[in-house]
Amino acid sequence: MPTEAEWEYAARGGLVDKNFPYGDKLDSTQANFGKKFRGIIEIGKGKPNGYGLYDIAGNVWEWVSDFYSEKYYSESPVGNPQGPKSGRFRVIRGGSWHSGGMCNQVHYRNGLSPSWVDFAVGFRCVKDLK
């Protein structure tokens, strides 16, 4: 799984100061959110972001490898921020089909217990580029 910083970098798709992977506005043609489809949809049905990643916003929340801290943005270094070394919760990103559109913002984050199982939470595999 990606780190939280890797996930956000990839989710932005090259757009630095935008709220969503596709710009400043999000609608249901770009992401599966707000219960429009009443469930998870097949990967790749929406529009890819600038890096060619599909469903980075909506569909299912995605686990990342970092532990959750409410102070992540204020206490982490700007270059390659790291989450805490331990904690009760792990970070989820991206929102889901069951969440509102604001949860699909690239900077929006939440924490869940690592033992949590839910129909709207999944993960994305990543590989280091060499």
pLDDT tens across 7-32, in order?
A: 999 999 999 899 999 889 887 777 88
The answer to which of 71-75, 89-93, 124-128 has the lowest mean pLDDT is 71-75
Cβ-Cβ contacts under 8 Å for 130 (sequence gap 6 or more): none
Count of the separate structural domains present in the chain = 1
Report how far residue 82's alpha carbon sits from residue 79's, in angstroms, rounded to the nearest whole number.
9
Q: What is the pLDDT of residue 80?
A: 77
Q: Any idea what the CATH number is for the domain that residue 10 is in? A: 3.90.1580.10
Q: Domain range spanning residue 28?
A: 1-130
Question: Can you read off the two tokens belonging to residue 126?
Answer: 């990543």
Residue 97 is given by DSSP the state T
